[in-house]
Chain A
Amino acid sequence: MRYLPHTENDISVMLDAVKKETLEDLFTVIPENCKRKDLLALPGALTEWELDSLMKTRAGANASPTEYTVFLGAGSYNHFIPETVSYLIGRSEFATSYTPYQPEVSQGTLQAIYEYQTFAAMLTGMDLSNASLYDGATALAEACLMALRISKKNTIAISTLIHPHYRHVVNTYLEPTDCEVIEIPMLESGCTDFSVISGERELAAVVVQSPNFFGCIENIEELSEICRKGDSLLISSFTEPLAYGLFKTPGEQGADIVCGEGQSLGIPVSFGGPGLGIFTTRSKYVRSMPGRLVGKTKDKNGRRGFVLTLATREQHIRRGRATSNICTNSSLCALAATIYMSSLGKTGFRNLAKINYDKSEYLKKKLTDKGYDIPFAAPAFNEFVVKCPDGFRHTYDELLKKHIVAGLPLAKYYPELTEHYLFCVTETSSKESMDAFLKEIP
């Protein structure tokens, strides 16, 4: 096997050195009744070329965006990714290193994370960021746990327009605690109805997502006022950070913790993972924050350098009393996002966001012209809900045969929204493909 460098001679010399006769003898410490009797029943080893051909078949059995027109978003977005991103994150000095415990040989990873933290803070309008978490959903769960720690209260109010999977993850994480999760309903506009929590003082945190699951822009400023009066923390989640190229950031509208999914920033959809859990907050909460942090410092000779810092919050020091059990970040994805954000720059980021907005507005308008109902009137980014005529499910199935995925049926998540579909349009959807879709529907 090409990954195993030992010759028969090496093995025999090494066995001599450790005073064993066979490789099996290395395992005499394992009691016989714990040993495997039979061989591993795995397929015979494949050559590189056999593996290529098998994997090509598997990959070919999925709908790829070059063969299909896919109007799907809902937490996973298809954007163009500059070649530089995959080229640079593929450099093995980044890819094959581990958590930068030894800063003298990890300055590359450390500086890149420091730059990522700076960009993530800018993107969300917050003071500081951690080195990233697994994904948007787990970042939200960690934010809720952090709010419970800070506030010492035990109720969390969460908007019904948070991504349903995120709500599900939060419930899973909080199940063993005595925390109560209450859901805030929506208004007819497609935004959250904050009036129901106005005057409430027992909430550890209020959780909102903007753009929300329907793509609608929430009024975080208004919510911030309610939270301030109720002495609750405001957690602002997101799934599409490109929106902050155009719209006000959660930070400038008063959020205390901003967390969400950074997949849009140069990371392929890859069947939902890996993603990038972005997590930012205000300076005063830094010591309650979960996850790794990189800080700037100096070496013995006064040269600038970077290290992992504030580790006393973490599991390897505090064990059972740590702020979370997180041991790593989503480092290579954070690097991809940093490269992506630098490639776009301030100017490119804003322009790209506007193109996304304009394209989705185009499809929205054309659908309205055709008589389709857009039930939620609030301004939206990239995504919007369409109420389709009764029996559209049949059209949807017919469209699949024509290589068009006409959005996400919402009834599974919101049973009252039968025949409602969530459409997503990004810069990757051409006018031509949208027009072709429009021609196919009644």
Chain B
Amino acid sequence: MNEGKKSIAESISREPLLWDRGRVGRSGFSLPKRDVEDTPINEALLGQGPDFPDVSEVDVVRHFTKLSQLNFGVDTGMYPLGSCTMKYNPKINEKQAKLEGFTGAHPLLPCELSQGALEVMAELEEFLLEITGMDAVTLQPAAGAHGELTGMLIMHAYHKFHGSHRTKIIIPDTAHGTNPASAALCGFKTVPVTSGPDGILGADTVAEIMDEETAGIMITNPNTLGLFEEHILKIAEAVHEKGGLVYGDGANMNAIMGIADVGALGIDILHLNLHKTFSTPHGGGGPGSGPVCVMKNLASFLPVPRIITHNGEFALSEDFPLSIGRIHGFYGNFSVMVKALSYILSMGSDLKKASQLAVLNANYIKEKLKDVLHLPFDRPCMHECVFTDRLQQKNKISTLDMAKRLIDYGYHPPTIYFPLVVSGAIMIEPTETESKEEIDNFVEAFKAIAEEAAHSPDLLRQAPTAGRISRLDETEAARHPCLTG
């Protein structure tokens, strides 16, 4: 485990692995006092116990503080990661989720002892329905992809209930990879559909392939090019005509809160990402929360337990015989729900303003950068804009090089090489919480990088150089996996 002696410079630039700090006899835990007698255990059942290092509390705090300093977060600076909605995470929400009445509430308490938690969930459900214009919702899915799976299970159950055996699902080429993967878990075969020359899906294209063996379509609106699917009503009509359902991937809901009426768009099932649109922190990749909203005719298929009111009290009911069943150990990521509810309560009808400003910021970046970066679809965008590296390719500079150079300028890179329909994609989502000055600075940085690409391209190929670590060998990591120390 010990990696040998290091130079002083090197030890400053990185943090040793935790076990290199361990010494038997140290402890970082205040062991509760023993107030009962020692009881012997059958020796044959005893194990050795895991060989964790013994470290002091100071060791623990220094180690993880140092690791945190090797990270970039929204609080560090602009994090324009397209499709991820890295907006500011309000501190007051964290405080609410830490209230002892929430953190200490056991999920199997009798309902009369958890009325506050159930009310939080019921209230959040009500607000999410108001924001989306849909009829019923489950808060159980723990993430966006989990919401997609829930949605696909609902679609599967719906067709089964109607005695219709459907094996295919239509998924546009702009979709997140989770869409086909979630559909596959329900045994659906993906029928890919190509978006038109304007970056959006044509209704005729969908109508041509939609048939009675197709369960429905999974569509992201606004799509992953940041464009609103203008033909959504006709697409939904074509799908509904053949008995199919429309699944809406709500990853990009931040563009349209209070503006588009999702229920009226013909969408039957929609998942939301509380960790994107509703400001809960991403936590380095979870925990998130992916509620699923449905229209009336699908409500009976939602997962159990569901929150009901009974004699003026909130209760949990499993009495929904058509339900797809349970999809989480308990009721989903409750503490994330507390944060999202706090956000909605703090914003009120300003949620609409948030969407407007998110879209303004993205359009502004699109206008400011389109002279230096190739813009494949020059039309008004929603909350994010997608460029490519076509102009820089002539200097043999790629999207990856520009992304890494942005790190030297103090920014988290945008999403790169996604969506797949655009070669060398650079997907920028500023969100509404970045000010005009921040965005101007980001634009200037990108312009400077485009200039460097033309005149001193090696600066980009070597990037990042300003940080503690340079580009990492990912091929070696995959060829000889070393997953534990």
Contact = CB atoms under 8 A, between A and B. Distances in A.
Decide whether A and B assemble into one complex.
yes
Contacts of B177: 314-319, 322, 327
A187 interface: no
A436 interface: no
Interface string B414-435: 0100100000000000001111
Contact of A72 (B108, B149, B281): B108
Contacts of A310: 478, 481
B261 A35 contact: yes
A99 B180 CA distance: 20
A99 B177 CA distance: 15
A135 B328 contact: yes
B90 A3 contact: yes
Nearest to B21: A342
B348 A42 contact: yes
Interface stretch (B99-107, B389-397, B448-456): B99-107
A4 interface: yes
A63 B116 CA distance: 9
Interface in A289-313: 292-301, 303-307, 309-312
Q: Which of B52, B144, B412 has the most CB of A within 10 A?
A: B52
A19 B380 CA distance: 10
A352 B284 contact: no
Interface stretch (A109-117, A193-201, A383-391): A109-117
Contact of A322 (B51, B73, B181): B181
A171 interface: yes
B181 A324 contact: yes
B285 A115 contact: no
A68 B470 CA distance: 53
B109 A405 contact: yes
Nearest to A340: B29
A181 B32 CA distance: 43
A115 B18 contact: yes
A286 B52 contact: no
B36 A92 contact: no
B67 A112 contact: yes
Contacts of B101: 56, 58-62, 64
Interface string B22-34: 1010111111101
A76 interface: yes
A230 B338 CA distance: 47
A361 interface: yes
A321 B352 CA distance: 38
How many chain B residues sit at the interface, stated as a range, is 35 or more
Nearest to A317: B177
B35 A430 contact: yes
A271 B345 CA distance: 21
A314 B357 CA distance: 34
Contacts of B471: 104, 299-300
Contacts of A119: 50, 52
Contacts of A161: none
A63 B47 contact: no
A190 interface: no
A91 interface: yes
A118 B484 contact: yes
B137 to A, nearest CB: 15
B286 A168 contact: no
A14 B436 contact: yes
B103 A15 contact: no
Interface in A82-117: 82, 84, 86-88, 90-109, 111-115, 117
A19 to B, nearest CB: 8
B73 A45 contact: no
B368 interface: yes
A305 to B, nearest CB: 5
A122 B380 contact: no
Contacts of B144: 327
Contact of B288 (A112, A328, A352): A328
Contacts of A18: 360, 363-364, 366-367
Contacts of A288: none
A247 B46 CA distance: 4
A76 B106 contact: yes
Contacts of B19: 118
B344 to A, nearest CB: 7
B202 interface: no
Given A26-B380, A169-B328, A273-B333, A100 B284 contact: yes
A362 B94 CA distance: 38
Interface stretch (B58-66, B203-211, B240-248): B58-66
B32 A128 contact: no
Interface string A35-67: 111011111111010011011111111111110
A40 B52 contact: no
B45 interface: yes
Q: Which of A105, A327, A331 has the most CB of B within 10 A?
A: A105
Contact of B185 (A45, A166, A176, A248): A176
B456 to A, nearest CB: 18
Given A3-B433, A72-B106, A109-B67, 19 more contacts: A10-B436, A18-B367, A26-B360, A36-B261, A51-B342, A88-B61, A88-B68, A105-B413, A172-B153, A273-B328, A274-B286, A315-B181, A328-B285, A346-B53, A362-B36, A379-B42, A405-B106, A405-B109, A430-B35
26 contacts: A30-B259, A42-B344, A54-B345, A63-B113, A72-B106, A76-B106, A93-B69, A95-B281, A97-B79, A107-B469, A128-B484, A134-B328, A135-B329, A137-B329, A138-B142, A176-B156, A274-B287, A307-B474, A311-B478, A320-B180, A322-B177, A325-B178, A326-B145, A338-B18, A342-B55, A357-B41
